[in-house]
Amino acid sequence: MIFIAARFRIKPEYAEDWPVISGPFTEATRAEPGNLWFDWARSLDDPNEYFLLEAFADDDAGAAHVTSAHFKQAQADLPRHLAETPRIVNTNVPGTEWSELGELAVAD
Protein backbone atom coordinates (compact mmCIF):
# COMPACT_ATOMS: atom_id res chain seq x y z
CA MET A 1 0.00 0.00 0.00
CA ILE A 2 0.98 3.61 -0.45
CA PHE A 3 1.09 5.28 2.97
CA ILE A 4 1.20 9.06 3.21
CA ALA A 5 1.55 11.36 6.20
CA ALA A 6 1.27 15.07 5.47
CA ARG A 7 1.59 18.12 7.70
CA PHE A 8 -0.57 21.13 6.80
CA ARG A 9 0.03 24.55 8.35
CA ILE A 10 -3.18 26.52 7.90
CA LYS A 11 -3.45 30.32 7.94
CA PRO A 12 -4.81 31.24 11.40
CA GLU A 13 -7.97 32.80 10.01
CA TYR A 14 -8.92 29.48 8.37
CA ALA A 15 -7.75 26.97 10.99
CA GLU A 16 -11.12 26.53 12.73
CA ASP A 17 -12.89 26.00 9.42
CA TRP A 18 -10.30 23.67 7.87
CA PRO A 19 -12.46 20.53 8.28
CA VAL A 20 -15.24 22.26 6.32
CA ILE A 21 -12.85 23.80 3.77
CA SER A 22 -11.19 20.44 3.08
CA GLY A 23 -14.47 18.53 3.42
CA PRO A 24 -15.38 18.07 -0.26
CA PHE A 25 -11.87 16.82 -1.07
CA THR A 26 -11.91 14.51 1.94
CA GLU A 27 -15.31 13.02 1.07
CA ALA A 28 -14.44 12.51 -2.60
CA THR A 29 -11.10 10.88 -1.75
CA ARG A 30 -12.69 8.54 0.79
CA ALA A 31 -15.11 7.42 -1.94
CA GLU A 32 -12.30 6.36 -4.29
CA PRO A 33 -12.25 2.57 -4.79
CA GLY A 34 -8.54 2.28 -3.95
CA ASN A 35 -8.55 4.57 -0.91
CA LEU A 36 -7.96 2.69 2.35
CA TRP A 37 -8.23 5.71 4.64
CA PHE A 38 -8.02 9.49 4.57
CA ASP A 39 -8.00 10.87 8.12
CA TRP A 40 -7.30 14.33 9.49
CA ALA A 41 -6.06 15.15 13.01
CA ARG A 42 -5.37 18.51 14.57
CA SER A 43 -2.12 19.16 16.38
CA LEU A 44 -2.30 19.31 20.17
CA ASP A 45 0.54 21.85 20.17
CA ASP A 46 -0.38 24.17 17.30
CA PRO A 47 -4.04 24.95 16.52
CA ASN A 48 -3.06 25.99 12.99
CA GLU A 49 -1.55 22.61 12.13
CA TYR A 50 -3.36 19.55 10.82
CA PHE A 51 -2.00 16.13 9.97
CA LEU A 52 -3.37 13.95 7.19
CA LEU A 53 -2.88 10.19 7.18
CA GLU A 54 -3.91 8.57 3.93
CA ALA A 55 -3.40 5.22 2.30
CA PHE A 56 -4.10 3.74 -1.11
CA ALA A 57 -4.25 0.07 -2.03
CA ASP A 58 -1.55 0.21 -4.72
CA ASP A 59 0.21 2.38 -7.29
CA ASP A 60 -2.81 2.34 -9.60
CA ALA A 61 -5.03 3.68 -6.81
CA GLY A 62 -2.48 6.38 -6.03
CA ALA A 63 -2.28 7.39 -9.68
CA ALA A 64 -6.07 7.50 -9.95
CA HIS A 65 -6.16 9.78 -6.91
CA VAL A 66 -3.69 12.37 -8.21
CA THR A 67 -5.34 12.48 -11.64
CA SER A 68 -8.91 12.75 -10.33
CA ALA A 69 -11.10 15.80 -10.86
CA HIS A 70 -11.43 16.37 -7.10
CA PHE A 71 -7.62 16.33 -6.69
CA LYS A 72 -7.28 18.97 -9.40
CA GLN A 73 -10.04 20.99 -7.71
CA ALA A 74 -8.23 20.75 -4.37
CA GLN A 75 -5.04 21.99 -6.05
CA ALA A 76 -7.00 25.05 -7.16
CA ASP A 77 -8.96 25.64 -3.93
CA LEU A 78 -6.85 24.66 -0.93
CA PRO A 79 -3.50 26.52 -1.29
CA ARG A 80 -5.01 29.95 -0.57
CA HIS A 81 -5.85 28.68 2.95
CA LEU A 82 -2.35 27.37 3.66
CA ALA A 83 0.45 29.21 5.47
CA GLU A 84 3.09 27.16 3.63
CA THR A 85 3.51 24.22 1.28
CA PRO A 86 2.53 21.03 3.14
CA ARG A 87 5.27 18.60 4.16
CA ILE A 88 4.90 14.92 3.27
CA VAL A 89 6.23 11.46 3.94
CA ASN A 90 5.22 9.06 1.16
CA THR A 91 6.23 5.40 1.20
CA ASN A 92 5.13 1.94 0.16
CA VAL A 93 4.54 -0.59 2.93
CA PRO A 94 3.30 -4.18 2.87
CA GLY A 95 -0.31 -4.86 3.81
CA THR A 96 -3.54 -2.93 3.51
CA GLU A 97 -4.50 -2.17 7.10
CA TRP A 98 -3.21 -1.04 10.48
CA SER A 99 -1.08 -3.41 12.57
CA GLU A 100 -1.33 -3.72 16.33
CA LEU A 101 1.12 -1.73 18.44
CA GLY A 102 2.45 -4.64 20.48
CA GLU A 103 4.37 -2.43 22.90
CA LEU A 104 1.05 -1.11 24.22
CA ALA A 105 -0.98 -4.31 24.01
CA VAL A 106 -4.21 -4.35 25.97
CA ALA A 107 -4.73 -7.52 27.97
CA ASP A 108 -7.85 -9.49 27.09
pLDDT per residue, tens digit, the chain (108 aa), is 999 999 999 999 999 999 999 999 999 999 999 999 999 999 999 999 999 999 999 999 999 999 999 999 999 999 999 999 999 999 999 999 999 999 999 998
Would you state the pLDDT for residue 64?
98
- Strands (DSSP E) contained in the chain are 2-9, 35-42, 49-56, 87-92
Residue 33 lies in a domain: yes
Would you state the pLDDT for residue 108?
85
**Number of folded domains that form the chain:** 1
- At 76, which CATH number? 3.30.70.100
Residue 108 lies in a domain: no
Residue 100 lies in a domain: no
Cβ count near 16 (within 10 Å)? 13
Q: CA-to-CA distance for 100 and 94, rounded, in angstroms?
A: 14
Residue 98 lies in a domain: no
Residue 105 lies in a domain: no
Domain that holds residue 24: 2-91
Would you state the pLDDT for residue 103?
96
Would you state the pLDDT for residue 7?
99
Gap between the terminal Cα atoms of the chain: 30
